[in-house]
């Protein structure tokens, strides 16, 4: 693609705008936003706060209620259209997801009317394979029917470009065919980055940040107990298991291989040992089921899937091999939530057993540990925000607890000096949104909005190539 000697001033519209990731990226390239839409009222107010140059009358809510005639002419159409219909975490209804899955066709309506030079869309990586690839084929076909050249989309993650966050998203671009032919835009190739590039999250950490959330005493305790677990393995020269630790299976012996517990009778369940070795008993089958791990209480299939059978078997074998010390250790976790009794060491190539210098997430699926060179994607749930256990808190941020309160959780004053969640400022930096103002949004809402946002740095890199600012 030919290099432009002078950057052309392009206009753009920002659909499903969220925090304005597309706006930030294109604005710094000299482009001008002429219209934006965002369904959520609190994010619209924030958009107005951060981008006051956009005339208020051109900042709209539900795009389905906007007449295409009321949208100004523009050179670039941008949109991170709703991803839930295609996400692995959702029901994956795709275009059948009423009110969200069909929003792509509203985009097509706008394109048909305004004929922008370029189309720039973003979504979850699963979109490409959704419905055996039919979803992507429909998108490509519809854009091509509108006379756009649509190169093969690319799935990219910020870490490939040196940004310490692993977050795969699909990026789709379209170039109006008359322009593509004239400017040789058919040569457009997405930037690739380096798939195995190592990035250290420390580059975005602000150790002096005081707008932070320290860890609760219970969280400190749980990390300390799991560190005890890892220390015992190290003491015995044992490798940290590659399979997820499901501690609730320790000392359990209920039947699980041939028929799922839910399908068993009360008689079949009674007398066996359930979670953490508790003897199953009770007047009803429901009472008996409640003494099993949560995942064994409600699975209504006749048989567990093979992966679940494998994990249960591996954990019971691990118990048998380590009963001498695990029988004491499990006393610490008996009153914990099910998810906190599950533990995943996702530190490929690292077996040092040290939690202090890792990134940790408390997820519904369990406590997950990763290297600081592998920052996980921002999650939408505040409780899953990455924990940075090695960070020493500024003195004014250290919570005040009595020795008696600390003793209750087996902690010391030294323990609570370290460890906090990734701050909102740092989360914004991971998305290239460090300059944004967040107004009166709550901490939880900021994390949620950032988790849904497009990555500014990646959009900028792609846009430079798309607009011909870089070869």
Measured in whole angstroms, the distance separating CA 122 from the mean position of its chain's CA atoms is 15
Q: What's residue 461's pLDDT? A: 95
Any domain includes 363? yes
Residues 198-232: tens digit of each pLDDT: 788 888 999 999 999 999 999 999 999 999 999 99
- Considering the domain architecture, whether residues 132 and 43 belong to the same structural domain is answered as yes
Query: Could you tell me if 165 and 274 lie in one domain?
Result: no
Q: Which two tokens stand for residue 452?
A: 């849904």
Query: Both 340 and 445 in a single domain?
Result: no
Q: Is residue 5 part of a domain?
A: no
As for how many domains the chain has, the answer is 2
Residue 136 lies in a domain: yes
Q: Is residue 4 part of a domain?
A: no
Digitized pLDDT (tens) for each residue of the chain, 471 residues in all: 334 445 678 999 999 999 999 999 999 999 999 999 999 999 999 999 999 999 999 999 999 999 999 999 999 999 988 744 444 444 444 445 454 447 888 999 999 999 999 999 999 888 888 778 888 888 999 999 999 999 999 999 999 998 888 889 999 999 999 887 776 556 788 998 887 777 888 889 999 999 999 999 999 999 999 999 999 999 999 999 999 999 999 999 999 999 999 999 999 999 999 999 999 999 999 999 999 999 999 877 899 999 999 999 999 999 999 999 999 999 999 999 999 999 999 998 888 999 999 999 998 889 999 998 877 777 655 568 899 999 999 999 999 999 999 999 999 999 999 999 999 999 999 999 999 999 999 998 999 999 889 999 999 999 999 998 865
Domain assignment of residue 89, yes or no: yes
pTM of the full structure = 0.85
Domain check: are 220 and 312 in the same one? yes
Identify which of 457, 371, 359 has the alpha carbon closest to the alpha carbon of residue 198: 371
Among the listed residues 33, 78, 83, 288, the single catalytic one is: 83
Expressed as residue numbers, the domain containing 303 is: 204-422
What per-residue confidence (pLDDT) applies to 88? 42
| In a shared domain, residues 221 and 156 | no
**Is there a single domain that holds both residue 348 and residue 454?**
no
233 in the same domain as 189: no
Same domain, 408 and 462: no
Distances (CA, A) of 278 to 251, 377, 461: 8, 37, 56
Q: Is residue 323 assigned to a domain?
A: yes
Say if residues 174 and 119 touch (Cβ distance below 8 Å).
yes
Residue 1 lies in a domain: no
Q: Is 83 a catalytic residue?
A: yes
The per-residue pLDDT for range 94-144, each reduced to its tens digit, is: 445 454 447 888 999 999 999 999 999 999 888 888 778 888 888 999 999
In a domain, 38, yes or no: yes
For residue 470, how many other CB atoms are within 10 A of its CB? 13
Contacts 24+ apart (CB under 8 A), 91-97: 92/126, 92/130, 94/130, 94/131, 94/135, 95/135, 95/138
| Cα–Cα distances in angstroms (integers) from residue 294 to residues 246, 249, 261, 341, in the given order | 11, 11, 11, 11
278, 296: one domain: yes
How many Å apart are CA 122 and CA 463, to the nearest integer? Answer: 12
Q: Does 217 share its domain with 351?
A: yes
Q: Distances in Å between the alpha carbon of 75 and those of 115, 130, 176, 290, 433? A: 8, 30, 10, 59, 24
In 3D space, the residue among 307, 290, 306 whose CA is nearest the CA of residue 254 turns out to be: 290
Q: Which residues contact 56 (CB under 8 A, 6 or more apart)?
A: 48
Check whether residue 264 and residue 184 sit in a common domain.
Answer: no
Please state, in angstroms and rounded to a whole number, the distance separating the CA atoms of residues 462 and 388.
Answer: 31
Residues 127, 229, single domain; the answer is: no
Rounded Cα–Cα distance for residues 371 and 390 (Å):
12
CATH number of the structural domain spanning residue 48: 3.40.50.150
Report whether 172 contacts 150 (CB < 8 A): yes
């Amino acid at each position: 693609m030919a290099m432009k000697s002078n950057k052309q001033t392009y206009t753009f519209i920002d659909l499903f705008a969220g925090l304005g990731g597309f706006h930030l990226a294109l604005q710094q390239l000299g482009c001008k936003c002429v219209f934006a839409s965002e369904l959520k009222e609190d994010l619209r107010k924030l958009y107005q706060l951060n981008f006051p140059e956009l005339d208020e009358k051109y900042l709209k809510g539900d795009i389905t209620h906007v007449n295409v005639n009321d949208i100004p002419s523009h050179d670039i159409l941008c949109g991170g259209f709703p991803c839930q219909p295609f996400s692995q975490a959702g029901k994956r209804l795709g275009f059948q997801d009423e009110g969200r899955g069909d929003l792509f066709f509203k985009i097509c309506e706008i394109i048909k009317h305004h004929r922008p030079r370029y189309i720039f869309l973003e979504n979850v990586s699963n979109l490409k394979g959704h419905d055996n690839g039919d979803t992507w084929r429909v998108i490509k076909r519809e854009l091509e029917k509108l006379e756009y050249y649509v190169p093969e989309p690319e799935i990219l993650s910020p870490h490939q470009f040196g940004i310490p966050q692993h977050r795969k998203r699909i990026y789709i671009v379209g170039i109006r065919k008359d322009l593509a032919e004239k400017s040789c835009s058919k040569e457009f190739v997405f930037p690739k980055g380096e798939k195995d590039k190592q990035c250290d999250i420390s580059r975005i950490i602000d150790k002096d940040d005081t707008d932070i959330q320290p860890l609760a005493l219970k969280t400190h305790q749980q990390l300390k107990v799991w560190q005890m677990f890892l220390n015992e393995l190290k003491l015995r020269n044992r490798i940290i298991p590659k399979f997820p630790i499901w501690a609730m299976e320790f000392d359990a012996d209920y039947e699980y291989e041939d028929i799922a517990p839910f399908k068993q009778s009360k008689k079949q369940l009674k007398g066996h040992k359930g979670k953490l070795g508790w003897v199953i008993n009770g007047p009803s089958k429901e009472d008996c089921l409640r003494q099993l791990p949560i995942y064994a209480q409600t699975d209504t299939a006749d048989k567990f899937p093979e992966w679940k059978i494998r994990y249960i078997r591996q954990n019971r074998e691990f118990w048998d091999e380590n009963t001498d010390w695990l029988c004491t250790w499990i006393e610490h976790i008996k009153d914990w939530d099910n998810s906190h009794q599950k533990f995943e060491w996702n530190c490929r190539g690292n077996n040092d057993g040290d939690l202090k210098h890792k990134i940790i997430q408390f997820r519904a699926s369990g406590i997950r540990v990763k290297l600081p060179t592998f920052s996980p994607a921002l999650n939408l749930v505040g409780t899953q925000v990455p924990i940075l256990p090695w960070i020493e808190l500024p003195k004014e941020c250290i919570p005040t607890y009595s020795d008696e309160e600390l003793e209750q959780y087996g902690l010391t004053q030294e323990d609570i000096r370290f460890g906090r969640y990734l701050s909102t400022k740092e989360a914004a930096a991971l998305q290239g949104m460090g300059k944004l103002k967040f107004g009166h949004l709550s901490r939880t809402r900021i994390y949620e909005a950032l988790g849904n946002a497009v990555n500014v740095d990646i959009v900028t890199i792609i846009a430079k190539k798309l607009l011909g600012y870089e070869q």
